[in-house]
């Protein structure tokens, strides 16, 4: 039989172990255990584009490399001079591609191999027009300056500073998310608490842009353009606490 002092020491040790276990059980639950509702809100705003971007290039063919690249360079220089004279800032004109490739002759009816018969050079620039009232005439004059081998493509419109549109779209998307979450909270007999998590995504949509192939396919008079509207869509996923 244990003595009284021994029994007292055992009881004290057992109480200490139990106390430790209770302390572990009483730790607060983490945020994952918080009752919540997760919803997706959407916001959509539209704006009128105020800038136009276009890709303008020229092609030149000649019997030797130097003649081909020199002709392409001269034509693209005339186009650059034309658009800058129309008011485009030099910083808004950027070289996109310069290339030169050999052209091959076809083998004769008697067989044989093809051989280099000349060279084709191309030079392409991108142009950003910030005054849309000048865009139609500017594009027409650029094509005229480059001649028949001018290529015009990649015409697109954009809102140069869309920060205000983005703010409005975010506000609309979050308001939509809160309204949805509040409805679910009321349906479940709860109240809507604070936002616990927010994740957003956005995209800009615009009408398909026209593509022009060459000066022979269009009049070199002012080219009709319509900027239309640009739509900015925002989607936000929000997890709200329920109280």
Asked if the model's pLDDT at residue 22 lies above 60, the reply is no
* 156 confidence band (pLDDT: 50, 70, 90): very high
Cβ atoms < 10 Å from Cβ of 76: 23
User: What's the pLDDT tens digit per position in 23-33?
Assistant: 333 334 444 56
Asked if the model's pLDDT at residue 43 lies above 50, the reply is yes
d(CA 45, CA 76): 39
d(CA 164, CA 56): 31
Asked if the model's pLDDT at residue 214 lies above 80, the reply is no
- pLDDT of 223 reads 80
d(CA 25, CA 88): 71
- pLDDT of 210 reads 44
User: What's the pLDDT tens digit per position in 168-196?
Assistant: 999 999 999 999 999 999 999 999 999 99
Mean pLDDT across the chain: 82
Extract long-range pairs of 179-186: CB within 8 Å, 24+ residues apart: 179/41, 180/39, 180/40, 180/41, 181/37, 181/39, 181/238, 181/240, 184/37, 184/39, 185/37, 185/240, 185/242
Q: Determine contact, residues 236/173, Cβ cutoff 8 Å.
A: yes
Strands (E), 105-138: 116-129
Which range has the worst mean pLDDT, 103-117, 127-141, 169-183, 212-226?
Answer: 212-226
User: What's the pLDDT tens digit per position in 3-16?
Assistant: 545 444 443 334 43
45 three-class SS: strand
| 145 token code pair | 């300056």
Cβ atoms < 10 Å from Cβ of 105: 12
DSSP 8-state code for residue 88: -
| 194 token code pair | 């604070």
Q: Which residue has the higher pLDDT, 43 or 112?
A: 43
69 three-class SS: helix
d(CA 140, CA 225): 11
Q: Which residue has the higher pLDDT, 13 or 127?
A: 127
Beta bridge partners of 70: none
d(CA 167, CA 11): 66
- pLDDT of 203 reads 67
| 77 token code pair | 């220089």
Asked if the model's pLDDT at residue 202 lies above 80, the reply is no
């Amino acid at each position: 039989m244990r003595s009284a002092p021994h029994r007292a020491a055992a009881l004290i040790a057992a109480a200490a172990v139990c106390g430790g276990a209770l302390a572990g059980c009483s730790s607060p639950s983490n945020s994952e255990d918080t009752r919540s509702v997760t919803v997706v809100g959407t916001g959509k705003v539209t704006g009128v584009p105020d800038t136009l971007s276009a890709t303008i290039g020229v092609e030149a063919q000649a019997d030797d490399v130097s003649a081909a690249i020199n002709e392409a360079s001269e034509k693209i220089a005339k186009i650059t001079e034309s658009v800058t004279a129309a008011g485009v800032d030099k910083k808004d004109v950027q070289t996109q591609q310069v290339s030169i490739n050999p052209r091959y002759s076809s083998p004769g009816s008697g067989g044989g191999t093809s051989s280099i018969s000349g060279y084709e050079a191309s030079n392409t620039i991108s142009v950003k027009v910030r005054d849309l009232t000048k865009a139609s005439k500017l594009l027409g004059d650029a094509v005229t300056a480059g001649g028949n081998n001018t290529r015009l493509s990649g015409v697109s419109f954009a809102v140069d500073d869309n920060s205000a549109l983005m703010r409005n779209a975010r506000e609309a998307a979050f308001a939509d998310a809160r309204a949805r979450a509040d409805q679910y909270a009321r349906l479940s007999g709860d109240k809507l608490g604070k936002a616990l998590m927010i994740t957003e995504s956005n995209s800009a949509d615009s009408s398909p842009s026209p593509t022009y192939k060459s000066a022979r396919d269009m009049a070199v008079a002012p080219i009709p353009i319509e900027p239309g509207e640009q739509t900015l869509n925002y989607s936000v996923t929000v997890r709200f606490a329920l109280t």
